[in-house]
């Protein structure tokens, strides 16, 4: 028997799945649908369900999986949650990220505690029911809850999630569920035609698992003819009006506008019962700003070590772009390989940014970037590790030639950055860093206080190492001052160069709170100084 649900029948659910290949754009699609619903005054929540056996995204390799996005309550999550927050301008929590590993850990713990009364514990119905429970829990407070299922339909590890959302229709009523399938249609250059067969097969896979989608989003690199939609509708078992052709756009922020002006919008009206005209004016403004070409050009050097996957730094990139749009400048982001970086690499840029990261690889290149910016009055923004390398650079400038972080040199007695109390022995352990929102008190009159317009801030964190305040005299002598501390004064949260046009660094990750229509003040400060 199905578990009795206490969810009101008016609660609606939209499930977004993907076929053909991964990375097809499910996250952007889910976020964009949510944005269109919000524009109609509908309260939206969103959730990512990933079939990985990981408990969270904290230990996933960023070179392979991209950015680890951190929520306000300290959950280490998939980068799609960053898309959700930027598109919907909401703050998500642990409830909005569900991985198989976390659910299975709880099931096994419950089994060991005897909570199943000796019954056989199985993927169906126990894991599927846990998935459904997590969906209902994450939906509280919304009118429409959007759930993205990670991976590709047909993957073995994802079968429990597909079965769970199939069963969910019986749990809350099919009329309260809308299934959207995102597929990819390739263009074959030799024959000069779009090939729909992979998409047809992907739809067959989904139907084979008992789900007939209500809508299909067709991703293509270039605009496809209407015949492609007709063929997918015919062989996929969906109405032609429910097939949306979605070619690559000049900006991802165009996607909500595409959905709002498509026939899919009518389907959403019918599903929600809300026929209020969508106010997309803010999205038109964002797109207009992004596609404009201002006369003023600004070039920012990103000193990074994951050069093969820009998604590792996606929130930083989006924060820079948002600040550039607000300042009406044409932004060029140049990539500087931290493993080989030297002064000549920095000279061509109007400003430098050093993002967060872990591990010793490329660290001297990042220190060199901070040193160059400090000595040449080049605008600089350091994020997390970017603060730590700035401190190292200042201490070395003051005469501490062996200044380093104990993360990179455990033997140094000039550990200007050291491991935080309580973090010893946890270096390779997931979920144990200082994570999530923490407050800071800023020095009155400092650059950071002026940028924030306040002497109090709250930013998200993800770190294990901290500035060693024993070396503050040397750090000060090297040209940096502390401009923000934790409320108890024990942790350095912000540093700056008082005699520098803009040299600011924070132990936090402010990029996670930047929005396309509300850029973060520290990124605004960098772009303004670099103009």
- pLDDT average, residue stretch 363-378: 98
Q: How many helical (H) and strand (E) elements, i.e. helices and strands, does the chain have?
A: 18, 23
pLDDT band at residue 422 using 50, 70 and 90 as cut-offs = confident
- 80/517 Cα distance (integer angstroms): 19
- pLDDT average, residue stretch 28-36: 97
pLDDT band at residue 428 using 50, 70 and 90 as cut-offs = low
Contacts of 428 (CB under 8 A, 6+ apart): none
- pLDDT average, residue stretch 238-264: 94
- 232/237 Cα distance (integer angstroms): 8
Query: Reduced to 3 states, what is the DSSP secondary structure of residue 143?
Result: coil
**Structure confidence by residue, pLDDT tens digits, 466-482:** 999 999 999 999 999 99
- pLDDT average, residue stretch 242-254: 93
- pLDDT average, residue stretch 332-340: 97
Model confidence at 4: pLDDT above 60: no
- 128/164 Cα distance (integer angstroms): 5
Catalytic residue among 181, 461, 509, 520: 509
pLDDT of residue 431: 78
Q: Are 335 and 307 in contact (CB under 8 A)?
A: yes
- pLDDT average, residue stretch 89-93: 96
- pLDDT average, residue stretch 122-148: 96
Contacts of 134 (CB under 8 A, 6+ apart): 47, 49, 95, 98, 103
HSE, CB side, 13 Å, CA atoms: give it for residue 402: 8
Strand partners, 18: 182
**Structure confidence by residue, pLDDT tens digits, 166-218:** 999 999 999 999 999 999 999 998 988 999 999 999 999 999 999 999 999 99
Give the Å distances, CA to CA, from 367 to 143, 191, 303, 390, 508: 49, 52, 10, 6, 18
511 is catalytic: yes
Q: Are 169 and 177 in contact (CB under 8 A)?
A: yes
Model confidence at 7: pLDDT above 80: no
pLDDT over 70 percentage in the chain: 98
Q: Terminal CA-to-CA distance of the chain, rounded, Å?
A: 65
- pLDDT average, residue stretch 512-517: 96
Higher-pLDDT residue of 154, 320:
320
Average pLDDT of the chain? Answer: 94
The 8-class DSSP code of residue 67 comes to -
pLDDT of residue 2: 44
Out of 20-24, 442-446, 487-491, least confident range: 20-24
Model confidence at 520: pLDDT above 70: yes
Domains of the chain: 17-285 (3.40.50.300), 292-530 (3.40.50.880)
Q: For residues 438-459, b (16+ Cβ closer than 10 Å) or e, as one string?
A: bebbbbeebbbbebbeeeebeb
pLDDT of residue 95: 97
503, containing H or E segment: strand 503-506
pLDDT of residue 379: 98
Out of 234-238, 270-274, 352-356, least confident range: 234-238
pLDDT over 90 percentage in the chain: 87
Give the tokens for residue 297: 């050009």
Q: Are 253 and 14 in contact (CB under 8 A)?
A: no
68 is catalytic: no
Q: Are 30 and 16 in contact (CB under 8 A)?
A: yes
pLDDT band at residue 3 using 50, 70 and 90 as cut-offs = very low
pLDDT of residue 8: 45
- 196/232 Cα distance (integer angstroms): 7
2 is catalytic: no
Size of the chain, expressed as the number of residues it contains: 531
- pLDDT average, residue stretch 415-429: 81
Give the Å distances, CA to CA, from 49 to 27, 149, 291: 11, 5, 33
pLDDT band at residue 263 using 50, 70 and 90 as cut-offs = very high
pLDDT of residue 286: 93
Catalytic residue among 68, 384, 407, 500: 384
Query: Reduced to 3 states, what is the DSSP secondary structure of residue 13?
Result: strand
Catalytic residue among 167, 327, 407, 511: 511
């Amino acid at each position: 028997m199905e578990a009795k649900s206490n969810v009101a029948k008016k609660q609606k659910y939209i499930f977004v799945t993907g076929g053909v290949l991964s990375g097809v754009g499910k996250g952007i699609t889910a976020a964009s649908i949510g944005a269109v619903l919000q524009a109609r005054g509908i309260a939206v929540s969103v959730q990512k369900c990933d079939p990985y056996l990981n408990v969270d995204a904290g230990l996933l390799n960023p070179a392979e999986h991209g950015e680890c996005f951190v929520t306000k309550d300290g959950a280490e999550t998939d980068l799609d949650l960053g898309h959700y927050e930027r598109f919907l301008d909401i703050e998500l929590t642990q409830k909005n990220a569900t991985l198989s590993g976390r659910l299975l850990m709880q099931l096994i713990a419950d089994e060991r505690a005897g909570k199943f009364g000796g019954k056989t514990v199985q993927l169906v119905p126990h894991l599927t029911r846990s998935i459904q429970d997590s969906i209902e829990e994450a939906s509280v407070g919304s009118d429409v809850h959007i759930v993205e299922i990670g991976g590709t339909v047909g993957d073995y590890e994802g079968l429990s999630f597909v079965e769970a959302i199939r069963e969910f229709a019986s749990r809350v009523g099919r009329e309260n569920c809308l299934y959207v399938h995102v597929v990819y249609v390739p263009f074959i250059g030799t024959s000069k035609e779009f090939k729909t067969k992979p998409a047809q097969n992907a739809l067959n896979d989904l139907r084979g698992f008992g789900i007939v989608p209500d809508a299909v989003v067709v991703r293509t690199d270039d605009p496809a003819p209407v015949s492609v939609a007709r063929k997918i509708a015919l062989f996929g078992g969906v109405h032609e009006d429910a097939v949306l052709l979605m070619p690559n756009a000049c900006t991802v922020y165009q996607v909500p506008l595409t959905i709002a002006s498509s026939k899919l919008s009518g389907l959403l009206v019918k599903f929600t019962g809300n026929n209020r005209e969508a106010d997309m004016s803010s999205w038109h403004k964002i797109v207009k700003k992004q596609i404009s070409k201002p006369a003023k050009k600004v070039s920012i050097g990103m000193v990074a070590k994951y050069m093969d996957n820009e998604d590792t730094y996606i929130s930083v990139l989006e924060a820079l772009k948002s600040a550039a749009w607000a300042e009406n400048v044409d932004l060029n982001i140049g990539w500087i390989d931290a493993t080989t970086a030297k002064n000549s690499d920095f000279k061509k840029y109007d400003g430098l940014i050093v993002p967060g990261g872990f591990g010793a690889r490329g660290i001297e290149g990042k220190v060199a970037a901070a040193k160059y910016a400090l000595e040449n009055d080049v605008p600089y923004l350091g994020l997390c590790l970017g603060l730590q390398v700035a401190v190292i650079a200042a201490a070395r400038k003051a005469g501490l030639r062996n200044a380093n972080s104990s993360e990179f040199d455990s033997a140094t007695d000039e550990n200007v950055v050291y491991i935080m109390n309580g973090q010893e022995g946890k270096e390779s352990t997931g979920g144990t860093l200082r994570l999530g929102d923490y407050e800071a008190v800023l020095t009155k009159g400092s650059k950071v206080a002026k940028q924030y317009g306040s002497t109090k801030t709250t930013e998200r964190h993800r770190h294990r190492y901290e500035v060693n305040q024993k070396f503050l005299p040397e750090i000060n002598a090297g040209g940096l001052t502390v401009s923000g501390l934790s409320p108890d004064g024990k942790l350095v949260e912000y540093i700056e160069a008082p005699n520098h046009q803009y040299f600011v660094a924070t132990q936090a990750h402010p990029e996670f709170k930047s929005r396309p229509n509300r850029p973060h003040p520290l990124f605004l400060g960098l772009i303004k100084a670099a103009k």
